[in-house]
Each structure stands twice: as structure tokens, then as C-alpha cells.
Homo-oligomer: A and B are copies of this chain.
Amino acid sequence: MRKVYISGLGQVPVTENWEKSIRELAGDAALLAMQDADIGYPDALYVGNMMAITANRQAQLGTMMSDWLGFHHKPGLAVEAACGSGAAAFRAAVIAIASGEIESALVIGVEKMTDSPGSEITASLATAADAELEGDFGLSFVAINALIMQRYMFEYGWRHADFADFSLNAHANAAHNPYARFQKAISRKSFLDAPMVAEPINLMDASPIGDGAAAIVLTSQPLSHNHPQVFVAASASCTDTLSVQNRKTPTFLTAAANSANRAYAQAGIGPQDIGVFEYHDAFSIMAALSLEACGFAEPGRGPQLALDGKIKFDSEIPVATMGGLKARGHPVGATGVYQLLEVTQQLRGAAGATQVKRTKYGMAQNIGGSGSNITTHILQRE
């Protein structure tokens, strides 16, 4: 299959934005990406979104955005894999270009969550879990993650305080990202003293929802840019059981491991070659599990990487370099596209204050559900 290039990037700040509708948010990000690529209208449009049908009473966002942007009579498709929708839409577009079906595509990830009452959003988020085996028993999404974290702490002997550095790192990096939901560093004390959400997950373990949109223009040919070309070296997707209880090892993200390993094989590299890793730190436990699944730490040893300072932007395996889900924010269907945009910025050398050193390979991993639908991309600087 052909190479696919990342030729345009656009994003709007993740925030509580009551001034703009979902189509305006997504449209703003899309226009910036099209401007960055400077190629006019791409051949097709892919939208990653999870809950517009409930949060915004709007289905078929592929059509909505195609209409809003003036892509009339081009294909427009919505792709959904819960919180993994953004990367899933990106992957569908990559396949369509690699196949020769189209030469270019606009990928948008968008979610507008703050117009709705919190209880409705909590209910919508719970649909990412198994309705019959988890949701119907009152398990919210954070509650499921809390159970995983409890088990993990029990099995490996970690205390809650040992997870602090995931959040500290994310917030420290977000302080330099004008698109982040929380643009400030936090103290260890504020992590430890944060109010409890679902034992042991406190407010500083959990990523905030938000309104946000990010967009990427993909092309089959490199466009003339004044920055390095970045292309998709690997795209791999993997599912696991929908409910966590059906997994042999609930504390290991098997689908994340499989999708990362397939991606490494496609790119012909290993974890040691990754210069930046945008992981899916929806909760601090997911940060630890992602590092372990992707080969950066042994099972049960993820928190040590953070405690040793190795996840900082200028260290061994930089993660959440623009704030991650924890501090950039987690507008669920948009997150995967934000991650890919941020990795591209790093490989372009355009990441500003949190620029990583090794800019040949970057990885983004987007998780739908509690580790049930995982898409991993490796991007490469040409």
C-alpha cells in the first residue's frame, strides 16, 4: 500500500465552550487543517465522534461536517469506537488513501460535552462499557477503572501516591500548551489532597471531559512545506472483550499490547525507537497500563517510570507532552486526533517548550472503552 502523509493540522482549545455549536468547533479545526495543508478540499471526510447523538441530538456527523465545510457531494463518514473514535476515523482514512480509493482526506475528531447535564454525560460515557454486563449494574466508566486500579495496587503493592507523577507530568507539560483544558502545573500536595471520585481514583487521577475538535489532512503525496514531512509508518487496531470481567488478566491491556506490537512490526522498529508516546491517560491507572502494554515497562512496573522521571518530555520516554488526556483534556471522540496532531508537531520539531529530542518516530495510542478497542499509530519523520 502507498505511504500516507500528514499534511495539515488544526485544533481548537479544549475547554467549556458554550459560544460555539459542535459543527462550528469541528469546522474551525478543519479549516485550520485545510489551511495548513493548503490544498483546497480533500477527496473525503472522516469524523470520529462518540456521543453527538445523545449530547447534541445529532447523528451522521460525516454529513454534517461535509455540509458545513462545503464538501458537497463528497463522501463523509462517521466512525465510532467510543473514546477511541478519533484514531479509528484516522485509520479508516489512512486505509482509503493507501488503497488508492482517494488521494486525500480530512479527518476530524470532535466532541461537545459540556452543554449537557453531567449525569447525562456520565450515562453516555457508560455506553463505552458493556451495557449488559457492566452498565446495567450501575458501573459508571470511572467505577470500572477504579476496580482495575484497586486490583492493580493489590497485586503489585503500589500506593495511590505512587501514581502522582503521571498527573504532575501531564499538567507541567500542559502549562505550555495554549490548547489545553488546564494550562497549569499542579503540586504533589494538590494531587494527594484532591477529592475522591471513585476509590482510589481521585480528581487528579481522572482526565476532564470538555468541548474540543482536532483535524488532520492526509494526502498520498508529500506537500511542499517548510517543515519536515511526517507519514504514517504503522496503523494497527485490536479489540478485546467489551467487559473487563471477561478478561483473564484485567490488569494488563492485551489489546493495547497486540496493537502496539503489530504497529512496531509494520514500522520495523521497537519501543526503544519511539521518541514520543501520546498515550491514553484517561485515568492514571491507564497511563501505567499503557506503558506496560506497549513495552516500555514490565507488567506492574509502569509507575516506576513516572517516579524515576523517565516520562518527562526531555527524558527516556516522553508522554503526554502537550498535557495528555489528563490536562489537555479528553473530549472523547476528539482525543485520538489531538494525540496524532501532537505527535506530528513533535516530529515536525514544532512542539515549543516541551519539544522532545528524538523526532524520528512517534506513537499515539487511542483506547475505546476500558481497553476494549485500541488503535495504535506510529508516525515517522521522513
Name A residues whose Cβ lies closer than 8 Å to a Cβ of B.
1, 21, 23, 44, 50-51, 53-54, 56-60, 62-64, 66-67, 71-82, 84, 88, 92, 95-96, 98-101, 123-124, 126-128, 130-132, 135-136, 237-243, 246, 254-255, 258, 368-369, 372-373
Contact A126 B57 (CB under 8 A): yes
Listed A/B pairs (12) with beta-carbon separation below 8 Å: A44-B237, A53-B53, A57-B126, A57-B136, A60-B80, A60-B82, A63-B368, A66-B239, A73-B255, A76-B239, A95-B99, A95-B101
Contact B81 A80 (CB under 8 A): no
Give A131 to B64 CA distance when docked, in angstroms.
10
Give A71 to B237 CA distance when docked, in angstroms.
13
Give A191 to B243 CA distance when docked, in angstroms.
47
Which of A71, A75, A95, A237 has the most B CB atoms < 10 Å from its CB?
Answer: A75
Contact A78 B79 (CB under 8 A): yes
Q: Which residue of B lies closest to A84 (CB)?
A: B60
Contact B95 A372 (CB under 8 A): no
Contact A99 B1 (CB under 8 A): yes
Which residue of B50, B100, B124, B240 is within 8 Å of A99 (Cβ)?
B100
Contact B239 A75 (CB under 8 A): yes
Chain B nearest CB, measured from A257 CB (Å): 10
Give A58 to B131 CA distance when docked, in angstroms.
6
Question: What 18 additional pairs, Cβ within 8 angstroms, besides A67-B241, A67-B246, A79-B80?
Answer: A51-B53, A51-B59, A53-B54, A56-B131, A58-B135, A59-B128, A60-B80, A60-B127, A62-B80, A63-B81, A64-B242, A71-B239, A73-B254, A77-B80, A77-B81, A77-B237, A92-B92, A98-B99
Known contacts A60-B242, A71-B239; decide if A124 and B53 are in contact (CB<8 Å).
yes
The 3 closest A-B pairs by CB, nearest first: A99-B99, A75-B237, A59-B127
Which of A63, A67, A136 has the most B CB atoms < 10 Å from its CB?
Answer: A63
Give A368 to B241 CA distance when docked, in angstroms.
30
Known contacts A80-B78, A81-B63, A372-B63; decide if A57 and B131 are in contact (CB<8 Å).
yes
Q: List, in ascending order, chain B residues with CB within 8 A of A80's CB.
A: 59-60, 62, 77-80
Contact B372 A60 (CB under 8 A): yes
Give A238 to B51 CA distance when docked, in angstroms.
23
Chain B nearest CB, measured from A259 CB (Å): 9
Chain B nearest CB, measured from A129 CB (Å): 9
Chain B nearest CB, measured from A104 CB (Å): 15
Give A54 to B95 CA distance when docked, in angstroms.
29
Contact B67 A239 (CB under 8 A): yes
Known contacts A1-B100, A79-B79; decide if A72 and B241 are in contact (CB<8 Å).
yes
Q: Which residue of B lies closest to A60 (CB)?
A: B82
Contact A98 B101 (CB under 8 A): yes
Known contacts A72-B239, A101-B95, A239-B76; decide if A128 and B50 are in contact (CB<8 Å).
no
Chain B nearest CB, measured from A205 CB (Å): 23
Chain B nearest CB, measured from A242 CB (Å): 4
Q: List, in ascending order, chain B residues with CB within 8 A of A64's CB.
A: 130, 242
Q: List, in ascending order, chain B residues with CB within 8 A of A132's CB.
A: 21, 23
